[in-house]
Amino acid sequence: MKLTDFPSDIRDLVIPAPAGEMLYRCLDCGNEHGINELLYVCPDCGSVMMLHETSNLAAKKADGPTWRKVLDHRRMLNIPALKGIYRYHEFLGPVVPLESVIYLGEGHTPVVEANSRLQELTGARFFFKNDGQNPSASFKDRGMASALSYINSLIQKGTMKEILAVCASTGDTSAAAALYASYLTEGIKSAVLLPQGKVTPQQLSQPLGNGAKVFEIPGVFDDCMKVVENLSSRYDVALLNSKNAWRILGQESYSFEIAQDFDYDMANMVVVVPIGNAGNITAVMNGFLKFLDAGIIETLPKIIGVQSHHANPVYRYYLEPDTAKREFKPVTVKPSVAQAAMIGNPVSMPRVINVVETYNRLSGQKNVFFMEVTEQAIMDSELIANRNGHIACTQGGETLAGLMEAVKQGLISSDETAVIDSTAHALKFSGFQETYFTGTFPPEFGITPNPELINAPEELKAEGLTEFPASGAPLTGEAFERFVRLSADAIAARLNLSRQT
Ligand SMILES: *Cc1c(COP(=O)(O)O)cnc(C)c1O
Ligand SMILES: [Zn+2]
């Protein structure tokens, strides 16, 4: 739709110009720092930071009902910069000019309702929000679009040049970083560090295909993270891990979209996310808090964070009901099929602690919950979901298992609706499905395949056939017709099909 066709009362608000004041705020000492420099941790105390818009821009521009109208009309615009996460420009990076925004098709991922069979099995009404349908096939694209658009604005202003973008990754961060960096060919190169043998071949192929320098490091993700942190503290590089507050900011779009897709009515809604480095759950809570503050939504949805029993530091922390007695202890992770969330010492833990407290307080009750699920439940749930028309990854299986656990604990009532996060595409993690189907999980996973969920290709060579087509050597004439007919009959026999009358 053309701007001139928009209602006159909102026409001036539909296309945003750069505005507002943004600062990094330290979650520990509370000091604030300007954004002209890329900072990852507080220069004063070393803690993680969050970005804040300090001029109250959104509230000054419009009230809640007006914002709803503006955002819904932005859906109809055909301006690339406003087609992705920057539909919510004022709530993400209002200082970023639209000319700097990199849009590669991220965000606005489908919300797909589970069929009645799956809802019955789960005991709750729910939708998958398929973040695997982002360009690099995971939600990390949201944060990368935000971080790289901001870096692009610094390059365009001339404050930064010759940037090396680096990250440590369980696979998906590096895929997203390499993709977005490769789009920005002027002045930016990317390098990624991966734990050797701990990412899937599909995930490895992504940064390689996008031309990033890929380093495989012995150890697990937490070890790679330490190397990258050291690198960024001593060399001039742009760190693209979720320590980078611009990443968290972009990922808030997930919540804005849920609000918009449910007509801003968040009463009786539950949002379920897997937790690894805990950046995503931080972003999801923060997004809803911002929309509440702007009057766009009136209720905060219930949040459920899910961890595997093989990588559960956040779950353990919140097991202690007494806030004063809670103490964070990193855990040593064990192998997990939810490999993208296999993290023992989450970088964003201070953010989680901070935002959970605010979220519960503004909800007027405890409204954030944490579930622990087994590796078996994760795998079984993923396979069951995909047998019912979904494209869930193993982390999507983890959220479904978490939803079922929450139902079992009586945390979800029959009038509630859940939106559960499938954070990546099933294809990225198809190796685990293969391992399940072939019954070859190493014992440390503790997974025994359920025969009812196993599937395998069957060879079909019809009895009585002696000649078969091969590539470069097709069958012809009577031999080909015989091959086609007898093969069809053999399939019909195996499937017990009845003949047409
Ligand atoms: C990164 C990632 C996670 C974990 O998200 P955090 O922000 O680290 O908690 C979960 N699933 C997938 C597919 C991921 O790539
Ligand atoms: Zn500080």
Structure tokens at 111: 């919300």
CB 297 within 8 A of CB 267: no
Q: What does the mean pLDDT of the chain come to?
A: 95
Ligand 1 in reach of 172 Cβ (< 6 A) = yes
HEC profile for 292-345?
A: HHCCCCCCCCEEEEEEECCCCHHHHHHHCCCHHHCCCCCCCCCCCCCHHHCCCC
111-134+256-453 against 139-251: fold identical: yes
Nearest CA to ligand 1 atom 15: 172
Ligand 1 in reach of 424 Cβ (< 6 A) = yes
What per-residue confidence (pLDDT) applies to 351? Answer: 96
Atom of ligand 1 nearest to the CA of 343: 8
Return the percentage of the chain with pLDDT > 90, whole number. 88
pLDDT over threshold 90, residue 478: yes
What per-residue confidence (pLDDT) applies to 247? Answer: 96
* Alpha carbon 436 to chain centroid, angstroms: 24
Atom of ligand 1 nearest to the CA of 278: 9
Using one digit for the tens of pLDDT, what is the confidence trace for 85-137?
Answer: 999 999 999 999 999 999 999 999 999 999 999 999 999 999 999 999 999 99
Place of tokens 């090396």: 164
Nearest CA to ligand 1 atom 14: 340
Comparing CA positions, the residue from 13, 16, 38, 42 lying closest to residue 29 is 42
Binning the chain into helix, strand and coil, the percentages to the nearest 5 are 45, 15, 40
Ligand 1 in reach of 423 Cβ (< 6 A) = yes
**How many A from CA of 294 to the centre of ligand 2?**
27
CB 90 within 8 A of CB 14: no
Comparing CA positions, the residue from 282, 300, 302, 283 lying closest to residue 291 is 300
Mutate to test the pocket of ligand 1, among 139, 272, 348 (most ligand atoms within 8 A of CB): 139
Ligand 1 in reach of 398 Cβ (< 6 A) = no
CATH of 111-134+256-453 given 3.40.109.10, 3.20.20.70, 2.40.160.20, 3.40.50.1100 = 3.40.50.1100
pLDDT band at 159 (very low <50, low <70, confident <90, very high): confident
Least distant ligand from the CA of 28 = 2
d(CA 329, CA 344): 9
What does the pLDDT average to over 190-204?
87
- The CA-based diameter of the chain, rounded to the nearest angstrom, is 83
**Which of 38-47, 65-74, 229-238, 333-342 shows the lowest per-residue confidence on average (mean pLDDT)?**
229-238
Residue that wins the pLDDT comparison between 201 and 370: 370
Nearest CA to ligand 1 atom 2: 340
What b/e readout covers 81-116, taking b as 16+ CB neighbours within 10 angstroms? bbbbbbbbbbbbbbbbbbebbbbbebbbbeebebee
**How many A from CA of 24 to the centre of ligand 2?**
10
What per-residue confidence (pLDDT) applies to 200? Answer: 83
Ligand 1 in reach of 278 Cβ (< 6 A) = yes
Atom of ligand 1 nearest to the CA of 172: 15
Atom of ligand 1 nearest to the CA of 171: 15
pLDDT over threshold 90, residue 284: yes
CB 133 within 8 A of CB 149: no
**How many A from CA of 341 to the centre of ligand 1?**
5
* Alpha carbon 493 to chain centroid, angstroms: 44
One-letter amino acid of 411: L
Ligand 1 in reach of 280 Cβ (< 6 A) = yes
pLDDT band at 160 (very low <50, low <70, confident <90, very high): confident
| Report for 217-226, 232-241, 289-298: range of highest mean pLDDT | 289-298
**Which of 17-21, 139-143, 187-191, 318-322 shows the lowest per-residue confidence on average (mean pLDDT)?**
187-191
What per-residue confidence (pLDDT) applies to 341? Answer: 94
Comparing CA positions, the residue from 291, 288, 341, 283 lying closest to residue 315 is 341
Ligand 1 in reach of 341 Cβ (< 6 A) = yes
Which residues line ion ligand 2, judged by CB < 5 Å? 26, 28-29, 42, 44-45, 47
Atom of ligand 1 nearest to the CA of 395: 11
Nearest CA to ligand 1 atom 4: 276
Least distant ligand from the CA of 206 = 1
CATH of 139-251 given 3.30.450.40, 3.40.630.10, 3.40.50.1100, 3.40.605.10 = 3.40.50.1100
d(CA 219, CA 217): 6
What per-residue confidence (pLDDT) applies to 96? Answer: 97
Strand (E) or helix (H) holding 463: none
pLDDT band at 305 (very low <50, low <70, confident <90, very high): very high
pLDDT over threshold 90, residue 416: yes
Structure tokens at 461: 């060579």
d(CA 127, CA 258): 11
What per-residue confidence (pLDDT) applies to 188? Answer: 85
- Dihedrals φ, ψ of 102, to 5°? -100, 115
d(CA 6, CA 238): 40
What per-residue confidence (pLDDT) applies to 203? Answer: 83
Q: Per-domain residue ranges for the chain?
A: 111-134+256-453, 139-251, 459-501
pLDDT over threshold 90, residue 236: no
What per-residue confidence (pLDDT) applies to 493? Answer: 96
Using one digit for the tens of pLDDT, what is the confidence trace for 353-407?
Answer: 999 999 999 999 999 999 999 999 999 999 999 999 999 999 999 999 999 999 9
Concatenated DSSP letters of 63-116: -HHHHHHHHHHHTT---GGGTSGGGGGGGS-TTS-GGG---SS-S---EEEPPH
